[in-house]
Amino acid sequence: MLRIALCDDDKGFVEEFQQMLSRKLAQYDPKQKYFICHSGRGLLTAVKKAQDIKESFDIIFLDIEMPEMNGFEVAKKLRRMNSDSLLVFVTNDANEIAEGYVYRAAYYLVKEKLLHKINQCVKTLFGIMDERKMSQRPVVFRIQTSKGEYIDKEFYVNDILYLKSVSRRVLLYMVDGTEHNLLVYPLSQYHDILKAHSEKFEIITRNTLLNFRHVEDVVKNHFRLSNGEEISLGGSSATRKISKDKHLNQMGRK
């Protein structure tokens, strides 16, 4: 069942939008559960309650122009709550689109173009959800144990932070802080394996393969990850630009 939150201070719009959305989503999943609210604070409270009972929203449609707390302020708090819901901004002003991707928006809907964009929006959302299902499947890598033996071990793709090639070794770094020695293959080969599970993996320097799922921010010449660690964008200005472009591309994808 799809769990969907709609947040907009225009009650009339929300009612009409829900009816339209329900018809479009039914083409992919007829089972839907909606939560309607008309303020940012109301949405944040609902998200917290949903997280507490392990029933987070799959999709959140969030109006930008709201009193007290606008949609961007709400989105910032949602990401700090580690909400992984797909976020769609709904607005009257197309000029606000760029800022929305800072908060990992999956899509942007301009109200006056709603009828023309809703089909593509729904298609994009289900494409992302399908990719997430793939990334939740384990990938098998051969690792070296402390005894020097090689064994096959499963890793969940979402839990991988990055891979690094160092002194003829390939090291795998995980969200839980563990580190593993992999068989020494080119990073490009590991990239191909991981890319089949998730589009979030990119080679950003000659020796680093990064999971952009865990990139929280760009700070000077580093990516700041979800665990607080910082990864260099590269040693040269050209490499740093390429890394930043990949980051922007990933933000646009999500």
Q: What is the pLDDT of residues 112-158, one digit of tens each?
A: 888 889 999 999 999 888 877 776 778 999 999 988 899 999 998 88
Record the pTM.
0.64
- Residue 108: phi, psi to the nearest 5? -135, 130
Q: What is the pLDDT of residues 48-59, one digit of tens each?
A: 999 888 888 999
Q: Are 160 and 194 in contact (CB under 8 A)?
A: yes
The backbone region for 173, taken as left when phi is positive above 0, alpha when psi lies in -120 to 50, beta otherwise, is beta
138-253 belongs to CATH 1.10.10.10: no
46's enclosing H/E stretch is: helix 40-52
Superfamily classification of domain 2-135: Response regulator (3.40.50.2300)
Q: How far is CA 45 from CA 3, 64, 85, in A?
A: 15, 18, 15
Q: How deeply is 101 buried, as exposed, middle or buried, from its count of CB atoms within 10 A (0-12, 13-18, 19+)?
A: middle
Q: What is the pLDDT of residues 184-205, one digit of tens each?
A: 999 999 999 998 888 889 999 9
Domain ranges within the chain, ordered by starting residue: 2-135, 138-253
DSSP string, 191-220: HHHHHTT-TTEEEEETTEEEEGGGEEEEET
Q: Confidence class of residue 251 from pLDDT cuts 50, 70 and 90? A: low
Could you tell me which residues come within 8 angstroms of residue 29 by beta carbon, excluding any fewer than 6 positions away?
A: 1, 2
3-state secondary structure of 102: helix
Q: What is the pLDDT of residues 93-108, one digit of tens each?
A: 877 776 777 788 889 9
